[in-house]
Every structure is written in structure tokens, then in C-alpha cells.
Chains A and B, each alone.
Chain A
Amino acid sequence: MATERIAFLTQMVEVLTSTVSFGERLNNMVHLLARYLKVDLTLYFGLDKGKETLVLNLSSQGPVPPHLRLEFPLGQGLVGEVASTGKITIVQRSQPGVLAANQDLEKLHPAFVTLAGFPVADDNFFYGVLLVADRQERQFTPGERQSVQVANLMLAGTLRQALLQEEAKKRIAELSVLFEVGKALSSTVELDELLERIVTTTAKVITARGAALQIIDRTTNEVRVSSQYGQIPLACPSPAAIPATTATSGGVPHLQGQEINAEGQTHYFLAVPLTFKGPLQGALCVYDKFAPNGDYLPFDPENRQLLYTMAGLIVNAIENALTFKQVESLAARNERMVRNLTVLQVISRALLTTVQEDRLLEIILQGLTLERGLGFDRAVVLMLDEANQELKGIKGAQHSPKLHGLPLFEALLAPLAEEVKVEDWRIPLRPDQGALALTVLQKRPYHVQGPVLESSRSTAIPPEFTAPEFFVVPLVVKDRATGALMVDNRTTGRPLEEEPLHVLEMFSTQAGLVLENAHLYSTIEANNRELLLIRERMLESDRLAALSSLASGMAHEIRNPLVSIGGFARRISKLVDEDSPLRGYVEVIQEEVSRLEKLLREILDFTGENLSFYADHDLNKLLEDTLLLVQRDLEACGIKVVKELSALPRLHCDDRQIKQVLYNLFQNACQAMHQGGALTIRTYPVEKEDGIYEAVAITDTGGGIPLEVLHNIFNPFFSTKDYGTGLGLAIAQRIVSRHYGQVEVNNELGKGVTFIVTLPVAKYCLVKQGGQGVALASTLKAPKGGGR
């Protein structure tokens, strides 16, 4: 007996330590046990993963046929009983209830008499039950029982090793899946291809016959199959149909099931949702796990776990790809912005090459229509005519391929290849006059397109100038709209996008500024020219005045002695006899003195009279022009100018002389207010008996003229000034009286002085032109002393 036992255990150890597969070892062990116990049959029932059922795994008669599925729930039959008690149990067929409880065993071993169950377990774990069946009624010696227990320990050890190996294999498979997926994720392939790879890898690892990935489109909420692999025998379950978590799922949300098709073939499926840090994005579904022999199998919990992990990876990949797409589109946008800014910078450089309005307009239009510029098909510049409250077409151009090869900077400076005639456009500045009027009124850009086209286009724009859509932007300088730009893509029909509108806005700011500057520059240039001219004339009249003053002095000095000489000569001639030779001498003295006196009269008494040039002028304009001349002095003294100008009829006068009057009055005011003050200039019409006059009142806040000098202010020899000729007011008065007007003084001591110059709108007068007297007709009668 003992020899048999030792031989049995030795054989068991040999099997245990052999290098054959675990399945083989286990089969051998069960076979050895049957032989040693001399029984008909030994079977091994393993506890399944759910730990609720014991399933037949091994038989001493060879491999268990697949169709023979034999299982006992925990507590049922001998096998179930041993599994729940953990004790060796031996029963006989004749015992009550034994046959009924173990009925299933009849399929394998009919007419069994003895059944013995041995638990297969080690110190930590219960694996299953070893069942021994025999047709004889028989007992087991304590030695046999002990040997079976030892053999069961070896069986348990082998089972444990097999489990560990299986586990290790799965881990390796999982790791290789992850490695595959990781490889795919880290490669820079397109999202679609990446998803394809993940789906394929998933199917292969799980050994599924097919797999499909469904994605929910975030904008339309439609579900579409984005990638698939192998055979898809069933329709994909809707992602929304997958329950969140189930009690039996072990925390993994999934939908699992099977369907039998028309040919009677059973198909299995397993689906997990794609959710990751957010809403449901889709579902990953696998079909028909296949066994090595070609059968289809249902999916197990490990498959669920793996599938769920893969779903997470897919979501990650999608999110990464989306982020990448966003980054890519941002980068593309940046690139466009950089290009636009570069274009704007080049245009800006070109705009700096000139201050001429015409040239600037050409550069602006080139910038808008050049391919390498902002690339619009057509562009029009309009400027605001403030006096008439309307927008005027200034210049238009359309894209021309002629300058295609040139660098942008050179092309910008080239003449316009194709102009568009817009000079007769006149758009009244009213809200009902369409987008162009609105863009200026509201100082905001408009993108006009589609059905609003008709209502938004002014009737002032010719109908042939139509486009399905166009942009208008205002030219704004210092918060004031000075004009507008209009662009379209009529020729190519390219749609206008929002982004170019922003660029156009940036461009318009600069265009508005340079055009305004050019305008200011030309105004300054014109003013400068006039200023120089007036300065020359001023100098000339100053020289004349000085000369006149000198001559007057000389006349005084010469006239007095001449009067004495001549006068006494006359007296002498009266006393001398008619025939005395002295009489002749005295008469010579008398005649020579008369000749000298006549000469003095001719030269001096009419100084300046032949310098008049009369024409019709606007007094307000003359005022503004003269103010420009003294502006610097006024600013230097800190004098504020207040203008209250009324509309006036045109004045018949010598503009240079009237400007001289105003200039002198302004200079006086300046000198009176060298510590600062206010200069109020008022113009108004005056109706008098003999006709219409216009008046300009110039008021300063210089404290007024002291009474003791007031009567002297028009005296040509009087001056309180330290410099100058002192003739300012005298000359002013002389000029005004020559125009048949008058100068009044309104002196308010402690406050200031108002000089009021009143001039007739037109007056009968003689003007010497080229030595010939020309009479100008007038409705006014010549005033007393006015005739010359």
C-alpha cells in the first residue's frame, strides 16, 4: 500500500515539475488520481469567476467535449456542498436525495454508486472540487484520503500557477495594446487614421471579429460611425442607450448582449460610452469574440475593462486632435494677421513718401486693390463736403493685373492702372441715403450684403456700380468723420469676410489721418504763401509810412522857411517901384518859392493814393486772414479770441488796405493785453440813411485808454509805444476814411476799448488804375468832402 502511495506521489511531483503546459499537467494529475484510487472517473470542477457556480473543467477520461457543459451552483449536489462546506464528503447512490441532487452526473457516468468530493484549496484560496465516482460501493482509507489531500495541494498549486500565467498573459496583452495605442497617439497622423488604428488594435486585442466607433457630432447632435474594423453583424447600439453604471459591471458603464440572426447564428456585442471630462461623445462597440476553434463567444469583464480604457484613450485622442486643430487654425489666423500687418506697414511706409493729396489717394487705392495689398477688386474714396453736407466721390480704382510682378512697395508708388470714374458722385448726408451716408453719420463700418442691398445703396451711386456685397468704412480723424472708403469684390465674386473688414478699419484710420494731414499741409502751405506776401506788403507799407513820416517832417521844416521867404518877398515887391531893377529880383524869388511849394504839394499831399485796388471782398474772410497773421502774437500773450461773425454782403474795398486796418487794430489790442485777456471780434450789418454799411467791432480787455491820451490816439505824431512808427491808428483812420467809412472808439476805463470800424458796402469813388481815373457807379451819394 505504502509503496503504491509513494509511487503515486512521486509521479504527481514529476508531473508538477514537468515542463509541459499547465493544461496538460492538470489533465495528467486528474488521470493519476483515478489510477491511484482505482476508481472509474475523477472530475475537477472549478469555481468560476463570479464565485457562484462550479464548472466541469477536467476529466480523467480526456478533454471535456465542448457541448457537455456541466455545472453546479454553490450548495447544490455533492460538488456544490463540498464547495460550500470545504470538507471531504462521500455519499452512496442508495442514500436518500443523492441521485436527485447529482442527476447531471448521469450524463457523464451513468449508474455511479459511490461519489466522493475533495476540496481543492491551498492556505489562501479555494479553487474547486475534485469529484471521484465509482460503480462499486467503496470506502477510502485514511492513507488514500491523505494522499488525495496532498495531491489536491499539488493540483491547487498548479491551478494557481496557471491562473498567474493567464493573468500575466493578459497583462502583457494589455500592455502591448497600450503600447500600440501609445505609438499611434504619439505619431502625428490625422485624427481619422488615429481612430482607425485604435479601433483595429482594440478589436485585435480583444479578439473580436468586428469593432465600430460612433461619434456624436457636437454641432448637429447626429451620430455617425467614424471608423470600423472587421465584420459588423449587428446595428451599433445608440450611445445614449448605454446605461451609466450597473451593479454587475464593476463600475464600468457598458451595454452587452446577443442576438440571433436569420441563419440561427448567435452574435455577441459589447459597447462602452465615450465620455471623458464632459458630455457623451459617442460609443465604442465590439462584436463576436472568437475562440481559437472559430466559435463565437460572449465578452468577459476583462474585455469590458479594456474596452473602457480604449474608449478613454479615444476621447483623449479626439480632444487632443481638436485642440491641435484649434491651435492650427489660430496659427493660420496669426499668420494672416502678420501678413496683413506687414501689408499695412508697407502701405504706411509708402504713404510717408508724400504729402500731396493726389499722390496719397493713388497710394491708398493701390493698397486696397493690389493683389499683394489688401486685394479688393474695387475701391472708392469719398470725402465729406461739410459746407454742402454731402459725400463727394474723389477717386476710384479697380484691380489690375498689370502690376502683378512688382514688389508691393514699388507697386504702391506706381500710377493707377485702372481708374473708376466716381467724381460726380454726390451722396447727401442723411440716414436714408444708404450705407455710405450711415457709415459717416455713425462713424462705424458696414458690411452690406444680400437683400438689404437695395435699401442700403444711395440713389446717387450709378446703378452700374453694383456688387452683391460691399464694405464701407468711415475715415475718422480725432473723432470726426472726414470721408469714407468703399470696397467690393465684384469682378471675382469672392465673398467678403469679417477679418478683412477689421484690416480695412485699421487701414482707414491711417488713410483718414494722412489725407487730413495732407489737407492741413496744403492749407498751411497756402497760408504761408499768403503770409509771406502780406508780410512783404506790410514791410512795404511800413517803409512807405516811415518814408511818408520823414517826408512830412521835412515838408514842415522846408515849408515854414519857404512861407517866410516867399511871404516877405511878396511884401518887398509891393514896396519896390515898378521900374526898379530890384523888382525883377524879388519876383524871381517869389516865383521860385511858388515852384518849390507846388512841388511839395504834388509830392507829399497825395502820398499813397495811387496804390488802391478795389474789388468785392468778404469782410469776415479778411478778418480770418488777418487773424492768422497775428495768431502767434495772440497766443504768445495768452489772448483768447472770441468771434461773433454775422453773414455780410460783399464789401467793395481794397482788401490789402482793410487788412492793414484790422492788422493795426489787432496789434494795438495785443499790446494793450500783453498780460493776456480776451479779444472779441464782432461783425454786423448797419443800415444808415445813405445806404448799407457793415461794421467790425474789436474789443479788448486791456484796461482802456487813459483819458489824458484818448484824444491823441489818431494823432500821427503821438505814440505810447516804445517802438514802431506810432502811425498805426492814424494810418488806420486814413484808410477807413478813404473808404468813406469811420473809426469809432468806445473807451471803458478799467475794462477795455472797442474800436468800431464802419464801412459802406459800396460807394461812389474814383480809383486810379494805371494813371486813368475810373468811376464806379453806386447807389450811394458821395459824402461831404469825399470828392477828389
Chain B
Amino acid sequence: MKKILVADDEMSIRLLYSEELKEEGYEVYLAANGREALEIVDTIPLDLVILDIKMPEMDGIEALRQIKERRPDLPVVLSTAYGEYRQDFATWASDEYLVKSSDLDDLKSTVKRYLKE
């Protein structure tokens, strides 16, 4: 079973994402900030990470940098409320940049694309 980490400071978002992704058949781990996310990356052989950007303690940008340092092969999908920076963030090292939406089809199809094998 593929292992996915969802990092978001909003508990409701974490809950929503994990319910939906579990339904799709993935094993889901949760983190409330960048630091927690890094701990999980270090201990679990993850297949994909979904990162929020604005989080307390350590934000998604810093977490993204450190994740890519440790596991350059691990796909990271940024999921943020900031749609207007899509282009700027595209130059960064994330694999995907998604604007959060209540319709999770985009997210689920992106995840599926990275994990289809």
C-alpha cells in the first residue's frame, strides 16, 4: 500500500484529505507543520508528500527544501490557498502546485498520476 503524508496546520483539512485518500486505498500519515512532516519523512518510507505552505514552526517552503535534500526522488505536491503565486512557485523544486479546492478530484488525479507505477 502506497504511503502518503499530508502536512497542513488545519485539522479539518487534514481530516478531509485523509478520509478521501484512505478511500482511494492509500496509507495516510498526518503532520501539523513542517517539523512534524520532516520527522515522518525520516522514519517512514513515504511515496508522496502533500504540503501546505503557510504553517507554524516550519513552513512548507522550508520543509520542501529539506525534504528534497533528504529524498530528492520523493514527489512533493504543494497544496495552498495562494493561487496567485502559482507561476513564481513553479520555479521552485516542488513537483506540483495545486490551489486548494473543495473539489478534491484534481488532487486525487495528481496523486494517482505520481503513484500509478
Contact = CB atoms under 8 A, between A and B. Distances in A.
A567 B107 CA distance: 12
27 contacts: A555-B81, A556-B80, A560-B10, A560-B13, A560-B100, A563-B13, A564-B12, A564-B13, A564-B15, A564-B102, A567-B13, A567-B20, A567-B104, A568-B12, A570-B102, A590-B102, A593-B102, A601-B83, A604-B83, A604-B84, A605-B83, A605-B86, A711-B62, A712-B61, A717-B54, A734-B87, A738-B87
Interface string A564-605: 111111110000000000000000001001100100110011
Contacts of A556: 54, 80-82
Could you tell me the dominant secondary structure of chain A's interface residues? helix
A601 B99 CA distance: 9
A607 to B, nearest CB: 5
A714 B83 contact: no
Interface string A331-370: 0000000000000000000000000000000000000000
B90 interface: yes
A571 B101 contact: no
Which 10 A-B pairs have CB atoms at the shortest separation, nearest pair first?
A566-B102, A564-B12, A559-B81, A605-B83, A556-B81, A567-B16, A563-B100, A567-B102, A560-B10, A593-B102
A606 B86 CA distance: 10
B87 A785 contact: yes
A570 B88 contact: no
A552 to B, nearest CB: 6
Interface in B57-111: 61-62, 65, 80-88, 90-91, 99-104
A548 interface: yes
Nearest to A589: B102
B42 interface: no
Contacts of A570: 102-104
Interface of A: 548, 552, 555-557, 559-571, 590, 593-594, 597, 600-601, 604-607, 711-712, 714-717, 730, 733-734, 737-738, 785
Contacts of B101: 563, 566, 597
Contact of B102 (A594, A714, A715, A734): A594
A182 to B, nearest CB: 109
B88 A714 contact: yes
Contacts of A597: 101-102
Interface of B: 10, 12-13, 15-16, 19-20, 54, 61-62, 65, 80-88, 90-91, 99-104
Contacts of A714: 88
Nearest to A609: B84
A691 B103 CA distance: 41
Contacts of A593: 102
Given A559-B100, A570-B102, A548 B82 contact: no
A567 B18 CA distance: 11
B105 to A, nearest CB: 10
A552 B61 contact: no
Interface centre among B62, B83, B84, B104 (most CB of A within 10 A): B84
A548 B104 CA distance: 26
Contact of A563 (B16, B62, B65): B16
Nearest to A574: B23
A535 to B, nearest CB: 26
Contacts of A594: 102-103
Given A567-B102, A570-B103, A715-B61, A607 B90 contact: no
Nearest to B59: A717
Contact of A564 (B16, B61, B80, B85): B16
B85 A716 contact: yes
Nearest to A738: B87
B102 A560 contact: no
A548 B84 CA distance: 9
Contacts of A563: 13, 16, 100-102
Nearest to B104: A567
A571 B88 contact: no
A555 B82 contact: yes
Contacts of B54: 556, 717
Given A563-B16, A785-B90, A555 B83 contact: yes
Contact of B88 (A568, A569, A711, A737): A737
Interface centre among A555, A561, A563, A785 (most CB of B within 10 A): A563
